[in-house]
Amino acid sequence: MASPNSITPKQLLRLIGTPQAPVLIDICVDEDFEADPFLIPGSGRHPASDIDGLITRVGNHHSVIICQKGKKLSQGIVSWLRSEGCKAEYLEGGIYAWRELPGNLRIPAESLPPSIDGHTVWVTRHRPKIDRIACPWLIRRFVDPKARFLFVAPSEVESVAEKFNATPFDVENTEWSHQGDRCTFDTILDKLCLRSDALDRLSTVVRAADTNRHDLAPEAAGLLAVSVGLSRQYRDDHQNLEAGMHLYDALYRWARDGFDETHDWPTDQKS
């Protein structure tokens, strides 16, 4: 009988990348993590000994606690959290089970940019439209749910990055930017090992729209039109980003589950 306090790797995989994803906390002991230094997308490390800090970190959010095997460490923490009124589950089989799951994604910890107070900070040019909205969506949904993004004048990106220890992206001559004919969205997928059928499909649309090669994907023209419309609708770049998060949530679900669905008129009226 399945535990009422657990979630399977397959169930978790369906949630990652969506707004419904839980807070993911990796509590593997340091020795185990050093032997296998990879993170489940969207997860963050936290010492199992810091119960009070963990309670504060998960707050009222649904959380999944992850240890190496899904046994004493994560099950004990989950029971403790639940006794404090937190909505917590443990990952069945832990990291071992996740590694065996077909279609899994694992982020190499060494590839992540440095964090500030536990979260990453990124900076790019202001007035974002395509890549500079798609990349923050990708980072918040698959890397760091609380990542902060700074939008500044192009001439100020480098100095702001230095002043605030932020990671510049989608800026020429930086690590996280276009590579050849690929856009920054592709670069993040490659550097963080986030390639999947759905994200590859979405990246093609983003690349086609961002580099004006609509022959790569017929959806590119629509993405460009909506992106330009959002940039005109919102003067504030952060409001634009929040609206864009909904846009890319929908595009991801299309790329994952609905890419082969069509629509026509008149509808089939057969019962």
**pLDDT tens-digit series, residues 113-130:** 999 988 999 999 999 999
Query: In which domain, by residue range, is 190 found?
Result: 112-258
> Do residues 76 and 177 both lie within one domain?
no
**Whether residue 182 sits in one domain with residue 80:** no
Checking if the pLDDT of 3 tops 90, the result is no
How confident is the prediction for the chain on average, in pLDDT? 96
Treating both helix axes as pointing N-terminal to C-terminal, what angle do 197-210 and 220-233 enclose, rounded to 10 degrees? 70
Distance CA 159, CA 113 (A): 18
Model confidence at 269, in pLDDT bands (50, 70, 90)?
low
With contact defined as beta carbons under 8 Å apart, do 140 and 252 qualify? Answer: no
Please check whether residues 89 and 145 belong to one and the same domain.
no
Locate tokens 């993911």: which residue?
24
Tokens of 222: 């629509």
Q: Stretch 16-36: mean pLDDT, rounded?
A: 97
> Distance between CA atoms of 80 and 55, rounded to whole angstroms?
9
**End residue of a domain, out of 93, 108, 123:** 108
Mean pLDDT throughout 235-249?
A: 98
Q: Kindly state whether residues 118 and 251 are assigned to the same domain.
A: yes
- Report pLDDT digits (tens) over 77-106: 999 999 999 999 999 999 999 999 999 999
**Of 91, 108, 125, which residue sits at a domain end?**
108
Query: Does 90 lie in the same domain as 159?
Result: no
Kindly state whether residue 263 falls inside one of the protein's structural domains: no
- Predicted pLDDT of residue 266: 83
User: Domain for residue 270, yes or no?
Assistant: no
Does residue 271 sit within a domain?
A: no
Are residues 17 and 137 both part of a single domain? no
Domain boundary among 49, 79, 108: 108
Q: Are residues 122 and 252 in the same domain?
A: yes
Cis peptide before 218 (omega within 30 of 0): no
pLDDT of 1 strictly over 60:
no
Q: Is residue 63, in this structure, part of any structural domain at all? A: yes
**CATH code, 96:** 3.40.250.10
- 169 falls within a domain: yes
pLDDT at 108: 98
- Average pLDDT of span 62-76: 97
* 187 and 241 housed in the same domain: yes
Average of per-residue pLDDT across 177-187: 97
Query: Is position 156 within any domain?
Result: yes
Task: Clarify whether residues 142 and 64 are in a common domain.
Answer: no
> Which phi and psi angles does 261 have, rounded to 5°?
-85, 140
Residues 188 and 238 in one domain: yes
Residue 145 lies inside a defined structural domain of this protein: yes
Domain count, the chain: 2
41 & 170 share domain: no
Q: Taking 80 as the threshold, does the pLDDT of residue 5 lie above it? A: yes
**What's the rounded mean pLDDT across residues 240-269?**
93
> Where is pLDDT greater, at 17 or 4?
17
Neighbour-count burial of 170, counting CB atoms closer than 10 A to its CB (0-12 exposed, 13-18 middle, 19+ buried): buried
Tokens of 27: 């509590």
- Sequence-ordered alpha helix ranges (H) in 171-253: 184-191, 197-210, 220-233, 237-253
Buried b (16+ CB within 10 A) or exposed e, 173-183: ebebbbeeebb
Is the same domain home to 50 and 177?
no
Residues 192-222: pLDDT tens digits?
999 999 999 999 999 999 999 999 999 999 9
Q: What percent of the chain has pLDDT over 90?
A: 94
Please check whether residue 189 lies inside any domain of the structure.
Answer: yes
pLDDT confidence of residue 87: 96
Q: Which two tokens stand for residue 111?
A: 């590839």
| Per-residue pLDDT at 270 exceeds 90 | no
